[in-house]
Structure 1
Amino acid sequence: MYLNSILKGLIVGSAMSLPLLLPKLSYAQPAQQLSSFSSLNYPDRYIRHQSFLIYIAPIVASDKLGREDATFRLIPGLAGRCRSFESVNYPGHFLRHQNYRLKLTKQTDDQLFKEDATFCIVPGLANSEAYSFESVNFPKHYIRHSNFELWLVKSDESRLFKQDATFFISRPLTMYPPSVPIDPGTNLIPAEPE
């Protein structure tokens, strides 16, 4: 709850704010650099990749592959600010939007890839205790689920849009299966490296 009270109303994607306001979470601490993301309005469903497309899907403790597919390393944004989401079980592959569909794609060195794979973490559009992910190269476009698929969509300000574009950041499912209780509101966001 301490972390959530600090982050309430704060744009988390800002490189300036993270080191100053978050407890010191270090990239040297693996449990704190890895995260999983559950949907606000489908709390049993987590962001995961499957066949290199991104979905929200239920993950159970016995599904080792599902838990790995639903765990990402939050790193400093490839575009020079905000954050990028690197797959844990496909290192060097990042969550990115392409033709508005969210995909898992092998990193390339071109600027378009870097921008497509970088998102600012902002207070949740539907719940200030959660988070939304805004595209760096398409302002006001957020990661949103629709029919359990993840898309980059411009906000229409509707209640449903806000719910579909809001996620909880939680402990990594690779280390903490869904059957392990997690205190509501527990979020782990790594600080910028010093």
Structure 2
Amino acid sequence: MAALKLSLFSNNFPEFFIIDHDGVVDIAKIETESDRRNATFQWTGPSLNFGTKGMLVRAVSPPGFCLRIATFDNFRIHSKFFTGITDPQVKAQVIEESTYVLEPAEIDSNQASFRSVKFPDRFIRHRNFELFAEPVIPPRELQDACFRIAQPLHPTDF
């Protein structure tokens, strides 16, 4: 099966995409070619159907970075190089903290939300343009956890 490449933009700020900024992940406007690269991901789940589990992994070089919930940083979303981890327990923990269930967004069921598998009460959401894994309290925060799936912003390397 072909890998599912995509970019994700904010439902309530449609010019702002999820971007990996050298280890921390935000929503921001695409201003450079580097931004296009860093806003292109692979969904590792078997499909983009709601209810599937997967990880969001960088789809461009360098490969092997996933969007991880950093419990050490107030549940901020960081990118983490996981493919080179040699300790099986550490690698399993990173994968667990980086796996999400693709769900219909509560505010717009045609769009997507990403609920943590390890912390099932937490969703990827933006707050002050930074990404966190947090519980979403209706109604205002529902928009912050709603993302639109778009075609990849950059041709992928692999």
Instruction: State the alpha-carbon separation in 1 of the partners of residues 15 and 45 from structure 2.
Output: 28
CA distance in 2, matches of 1:65, 1:169: 20
Larger radius of gyration: 1
Unaligned residue ranges in structure 1 (runs of 5+):
1-25, 176-194
Q: Number of residue pairs matched?
A: 140
* 1:128 aligned partner, one-letter code: S
The alpha-carbon deviation at position 103 of structure 1 amounts to: 0.4
What's the counterpart of residue 169 of structure 1? 149
Look up the equivalent residue of 1:173 and give its one-letter code.
Answer: L
> Do structure 1's residue 39 and structure 2's residue 10 form an aligned pair?
yes
Q: CA–CA distance in 2 between the matches of 1:48 and 1:82? A: 21
Written as runs of structure 1 = structure 2, the 5 A alignment for 1:21-36 is 26-27=1-2, 33-36=4-7
Determine the structure 2 residue equivalent to 1:146.
127
Give the secondary-structure state (helix, strand or coil) at the position aligned to 1:76: coil
Structure 1 position 126, deviation (Å): 1.2
Partner deviation per Cα, 1:14-58 (whole Å, 9 max, x = no partner): xxxxxxxxxxxx41xx6xx21000000000000011021000000
Q: What TM-score results when the alignment is normalised by the length of structure 2?
A: 0.83
Q: CA RMSD in A?
A: 1.6
Q: Distance in 1 between matches of 2:18 and 2:97?
A: 17
Q: Which moved more, 1:82-91 or 1:117-126?
A: 82-91
After the TM superposition, list the runs of 4 or more consecutive aligned residues in structure 1 that deviate by more than 3 angstroms.
Answer: none
Match of 1:74 among 15, 26, 43: 43
Deviation, 1:116, is 0.6
Task: Say whether 1:101 aligns with 2:59.
Answer: no
Letter in 1 for 2:70: Q
Q: Aligned ranges for residues 1-194 of structure 1 at < 5 Å? A: 26-27=1-2, 33-60=4-31, 63-76=32-45, 82-88=53-59, 89-99=61-71, 100-107=75-82, 108=85, 109=88, 110=90, 111-156=92-137, 158-175=138-155
Deviation at residue 138 of structure 1 after TM alignment: 0.4
SS in 1 for 2:44: strand
Gap runs ≥5 in structure 2: 47-51
Q: Which amino acid aligns with 1:97?
A: I
Deviations 1:37-87 (A, max 9, x none): 000000000001102100000014xx210000000011139xxx7010111
CA–CA separation in structure 2 for the residues paired with 1:74 and 1:155: 22
Amino acid at match of 1:154: P
Question: 1:169 and 1:66 mapped to 2: Cα distance?
Answer: 17
Deviation at 1:112, TM superposition (A): 1.4
For residue 136 of structure 1, report the CA deviation from its aligned partner: 0.4
Structure 1, residues 96-138: CA drift from partner, whole Å, max 9, x if none? 1012010000103432111111000000121111100000000
CA distance in 2, matches of 1:124, 1:154: 13
